[in-house]
């Protein structure tokens, strides 16, 4: 897959691998870290590495290696997403907490919208009868 011609080769390799695995770049980095280090990355430790990738095009050696592995397996026609761990991406505690907060916020906003709509309906009904004089 061709990307911007000004991309560094390592960045283009990462983008190709993420497209082949159908994952986000963040998930790709977590998969690569897990495969290289034998365990999942601490979210606090991954953020500066990912920021360096996003803003300075710095690809760590373990991400470069994993990207090349994915591309090589794809060229051979033996790319197995499950074997590479794509189907077992963990959700972090922070992601779950954020999802719960958004869920509560959405329910609250919908409830407030319904209450507001009922209130407006009551105000509109007041206009159907005469409230202030002179009423004719």
Q: Which has the higher per-residue pLDDT, 33 or 41? A: 33
Is the pLDDT assigned to residue 131 strictly greater than 70? no
Q: Where are the domains of the chain?
A: 1-90, 91-136
Residue (of 79, 99, 101, 100) closest to 23 by Cα position: 79
Distance between CA atoms of 21 and 3, rounded to whole angstroms? Answer: 16
Is the pLDDT assigned to residue 3 strictly greater than 70? no
Confidence band for 58, pLDDT divided at 50, 70 and 90: very high
26-29-30-32 Cα dihedral, nearest 10 degrees: 160
88-69-56-26 Cα dihedral, nearest 10 degrees: -10
Lowest mean pLDDT among 52-56, 59-63, 127-131: 127-131
The confidence score (pLDDT) of residue 87 equals 74
- Helix 43-56 to helix 25-37 angle (10° resolution) is 120
Residue (of 5, 62, 54) closest to 33 by Cα position: 62
> In angstroms, how far is CA 136 from the centroid of its own chain?
62
The confidence score (pLDDT) of residue 136 equals 61
The confidence score (pLDDT) of residue 80 equals 86
Q: Which has the higher per-residue pLDDT, 129 or 49? A: 49
- Token representation of residue 80: 């197995």
The confidence score (pLDDT) of residue 126 equals 61
Mean per-residue pLDDT of the chain: 85
* pLDDT tens sequence across 66-115: 999 999 999 999 988 888 888 765 566 777 788 899 999 999 999 999 88
Distance between CA atoms of 3 and 24, rounded to whole angstroms? Answer: 16
Confidence band for 129, pLDDT divided at 50, 70 and 90: low
């Amino acid at each position: 897959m061709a990307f911007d011609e000004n991309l560094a080769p390592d960045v283009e390799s990462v983008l190709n691998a993420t497209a082949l695995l159908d994952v986000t770049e963040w998930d790709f980095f977590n998969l690569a870290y897990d495969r290289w280090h034998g365990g999942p990355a601490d979210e606090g430790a991954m953020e500066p590495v990912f920021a360096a990738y996003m803003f300075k095009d710095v690809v760590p050696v373990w991400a470069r290696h994993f990207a090349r592995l994915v591309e090589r397996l794809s060229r051979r026609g033996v790319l197995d997403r499950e074997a590479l761990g794509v189907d077992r991406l963990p959700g972090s505690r922070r992601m779950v907490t954020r999802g719960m907060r958004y869920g509560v916020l959405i329910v609250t906003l919908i409830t407030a919208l319904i209450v507001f709509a009922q209130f407006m309906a009551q105000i509109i009904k007041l206009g159907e009868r005469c409230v202030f004089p002179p009423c004719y």
